[in-house]
Structure 1
Amino acid sequence: MKALVYEGPREMNLRQLVDPEPLEDEVLIRVAYSGICGSELSGFLGHNALRKPPMVFGHEFSGTIEALGARVVRNGLHVGAHVTANPLVTCGECRYCLSGRQQLCPSRQLLSAALPGSNAELVKIPARFVYPLPSGMPLRRGALVEPVACGVRVAELAAPKPGERAVVAGMGPIGLFALQALKLHGVTDLYAIDLSPERLEIAESLGAIPIMPNSTSDVAAEVRRLTGGGADIAVDAVGASVTRRQCIDFTAPGGRVIVTGLHEAESSLQVNTMIRSEISLLGSFAYSAVTFEKALAYLAHGWVELDEWIEEAPLEAGAAWFDQLIAKPGKTAKVLLVP
């Protein structure tokens, strides 16, 4: 099969690899679409310790079942079925898995990090992580379930109450999906922060009030002015020290800050401010099986979308798109590679 292989910082090449063979409990999927994730952009730059070369990236995908392992018997799973998959492979036996918090499984393995990913013609994964797409759901939309699940998890942790105000910093795919998930959870007073006017246009079309930082403005002061005292919910979908600190600065007393961006491993935070204002800080890493299924339902019903801002590209153009998304993404919110 052909596959896009990460071979070092800013080095990604199309290679011919041996076709994977499914074990008795696995499903082999012919990939239709494979999304480029923000965490993989940092991996491409060599900034992610989990992604070591050589590695096939890709964990947001959809496709058609090519083959089934000998012991796979599940309704909806058959050769030719249109499917997506939860790429977070967990043990199913630890206390986290048994309590429905699979994303915290200490032995979890992610496609595109610990396991070969979907930037290839074929990918294999245990059958219990494979989900048939609802009837009529396009394969292109099925490739969005994983990033939508990340956004839904942000909204679950934020636990919005009626009348609360939410601000999301960073209008990459996760930030845009978190905006929509918060809206579905009842937030009507939504604000979006980004340095890109094109990304802010997308956020505004999704119902958010845009806030553009500039060299002369105090972002926190502007947010407090617009929200009438500060945000009840602040989401950092960037992962930089400056945006994490800004989110704390513009959160109202008693509010919640959800950090989900992974760009920088460590940040110095104004902890005394959090103590005195009783601000809660919560990390949002991934999603449980239930959250993944919720995201699939949201997409099936058309409650979440980014269709207008998705770019399709052949697998051969993958390395160039990694470079472009780092340099200047513009109005392209998500790139789906087509093997």
Structure 2
Amino acid sequence: MRTLNLYGKQDIRFEDTEKPSIEKADDVIVKVKAVGICGSDISRYNKLGPYVEGMTFGHEFSGEIAEVGPEVTNVKPGDRVAGCPTLYCGECESCRKGELSQCEQLTVIGARHPGAYAEFVKLPAENIVPIPDSVDFDTAAMVEPSAVVAHGFYRTSMQPGAEVAVMGCGNIGLLAVQWAKIFGAKKVYAIDIDDEKLQIASEIGADELINPKEKSAYDQIMEITGGRGVDVAIESAGSPITSAQVFALAKKGGEVVFMGIPYADINIERFYFEKIVRNELTVLGSWNAISAPFPGKEWDTTVHYMSTGQINVKPIISHRLQLRQGPETFEKIINRDESFGKVLFYPEIG
């Protein structure tokens, strides 16, 4: 079968790999219809991280059940599905407490287990997420990143009527704009230095667009809110700069949620750090998308709101490509040869 396999730093190859087979009674093999590039894929491709040389990459996917093990009863061949790509041990202290996203052995397919940049991918039956006919395969390929964002919002104490600032309008930020509305935000501030991304944020529900190139996001939000700030500030850019600046956006007693992953050290100016102390902020980290009972409410809720159209990923998708275009696409992304939103590959085409 056709796959994209990671061999080393900036070394991903389009190859033929043996198709997975049923080995365990709860195995499920999915024919991949659409698979997306995650920001973590870009980081691992560019700098490496936990991976096995030659491993089939990728973890955000949708598809159709091709084959199931003898003990699988929740799905059958032909069913339309997405997949939770996360594997947990079930034995560590965090797992025993039901805090699965904090599992000591947490891993995702595409690192130490074969991933979804492939014509077929294998997962345990409990990782399979059925999708209704009203959710197309392109949309379902983004169930996983959407569940990641939902996980972060579930960690907050946000109430209907809250005001939310989303710092960074990449794929995660654009999903966060929509989840903020679902969680009851009366006003969402979208912040980015890219006007094209801000325009997409406006299309999917952002109420205020803030470009901090001319005036800081802090100054603009303080002007709009009369010096109050927002109830919840989301850091979704994963930038060392915004990871410091986000503390100034929340009101006294507000919450700051980190969904982005900065791949560099963060130096926090005194002005921003003091906001944590003086405003008595609650600072939340959010990791992965699973909870108990596995895979968690993040997944069912995502599928529901995708089926109603309240999670709309179509404006976020910028490229629809054949899997064989993977190597050149990854190179273009890290070289910033063009603007990329969510990139989807179609393994069965071409």
- TM-score of the aligned structures, taking structure 2 as reference length: 0.89
Contact kept, 8 Å, 1:4 with 1:120, in 2: the verdict is: yes
Count of residue correspondences: 334
Tell me, in whole angstroms, the C-alpha distance in 2 between the residues paired with 1:212 and 1:79. Answer: 48
Q: 1:173 to 1:335 in 2, by over 3 A?
A: same
Match of 2:275 in 1: 273
Tell me, in whole angstroms, the C-alpha distance in 2 between the residues paired with 1:176 and 1:218. Answer: 20
Once the two structures are superposed, residues 226-266 of structure 1 have per-residue CA deviations (whole angstroms, 9 ceiling, x without a partner) of: 23222221111122221011101222221111111113254
Once the two structures are superposed, residues 178-213 of structure 1 have per-residue CA deviations (whole angstroms, 9 ceiling, x without a partner) of: 110011011021111112111111001112121112
1:113 and 2:114 aligned: no
Contact kept, 8 Å, 1:221 with 1:250, in 2: the verdict is: no
| TM-aligned CA deviation for residue 337 of structure 1 | 0.6
Match of 2:242 in 1: 243
Tell me, in whole angstroms, the C-alpha distance in 1 between the residues paired with 2:194 and 2:128. Answer: 36
Match of 1:35 in 2: 36
Match of 1:3 in 2: 3
Secondary structure of 1:115's aligned partner: coil
Q: 1:96 to 1:329 in 2, by over 3 A?
A: farther
| TM-aligned CA deviation for residue 136 of structure 1 | 3.8
Identical-residue share of aligned pairs (%) = 32
Query: Which of 305, 308, 323 is matched with 2:312 structurally?
Result: 305
1:84 and 2:91 aligned: no
Secondary structure of 2:121's aligned partner: strand
Counterpart of 2:123 in structure 1: which amino acid? I
Once the two structures are superposed, residues 104-159 of structure 1 have per-residue CA deviations (whole angstroms, 9 ceiling, x without a partner) of: 22222211223221001111111111122224432222211101101212222233
Match of 2:302 in 1: 295
Tell me, in whole angstroms, the C-alpha distance in 2 between the residues paired with 1:210 and 1:52. Answer: 42
Match of 1:129 in 2: 127
Contact kept, 8 Å, 1:306 with 1:333, in 2: the verdict is: no
Greater displacement, 49-58 / 105-114:
49-58
Q: 1:151 to 1:4 in 2, by over 3 A?
A: same
Contact kept, 8 Å, 1:88 with 1:103, in 2: the verdict is: no
Q: 1:252 to 1:6 in 2, by over 3 A?
A: same
Secondary structure of 1:45's aligned partner: helix
Tell me, in whole angstroms, the C-alpha distance in 1 between the residues paired with 2:328 and 2:40. Answer: 17
Counterpart of 1:13 in structure 2: which amino acid? R
Once the two structures are superposed, residues 267-296 of structure 1 have per-residue CA deviations (whole angstroms, 9 ceiling, x without a partner) of: 233544311210111101122222122112
Contact kept, 8 Å, 2:257 with 2:284, in 1: the verdict is: yes
Query: Which of 310, 321, 331 is matched with 2:329 structurally?
Result: 321
Tell me, in whole angstroms, the C-alpha distance in 2 between the residues paired with 1:94 and 1:239. Answer: 29
Q: Superposition pairs for residues 57-72 of structure 1, below 5 Å?
A: 57-70=57-70, 72=71
Q: Superposition pairs for residues 173-252 of structure 1, below 5 Å?
A: 173-208=171-206, 209-214=208-213, 216-229=214-227, 230-252=229-251
Tell me, in whole angstroms, the C-alpha distance in 1 between the residues paired with 2:110 and 2:225. Answer: 39
Once the two structures are superposed, residues 161-190 of structure 1 have per-residue CA deviations (whole angstroms, 9 ceiling, x without a partner) of: 243221111111111111100110110211
Counterpart of 2:276 in structure 1: which amino acid? M
Contact kept, 8 Å, 2:174 with 2:316, in 1: the verdict is: no
Contact kept, 8 Å, 2:21 with 2:29, in 1: the verdict is: yes
Secondary structure of 2:215's aligned partner: coil
Secondary structure of 2:43's aligned partner: helix
Q: 1:182 to 1:19 in 2, by over 3 A?
A: same
- TM-score of the aligned structures, taking structure 1 as reference length: 0.91
Tell me, in whole angstroms, the C-alpha distance in 2 between the residues paired with 1:231 and 1:50. Answer: 37
Match of 2:15 in 1: 15
Tell me, in whole angstroms, the C-alpha distance in 1 between the residues paired with 2:311 and 2:237. Answer: 21
Secondary structure of 2:135's aligned partner: coil
Q: 1:222 to 1:53 in 2, by over 3 A?
A: farther
Tell me, in whole angstroms, the C-alpha distance in 1 between the residues paired with 2:122 and 2:56. Answer: 12
Secondary structure of 1:158's aligned partner: coil
| TM-aligned CA deviation for residue 97 of structure 1 | 3.7
Contact kept, 8 Å, 1:154 with 1:178, in 2: the verdict is: no
Greater displacement, 298-307 / 268-277:
268-277
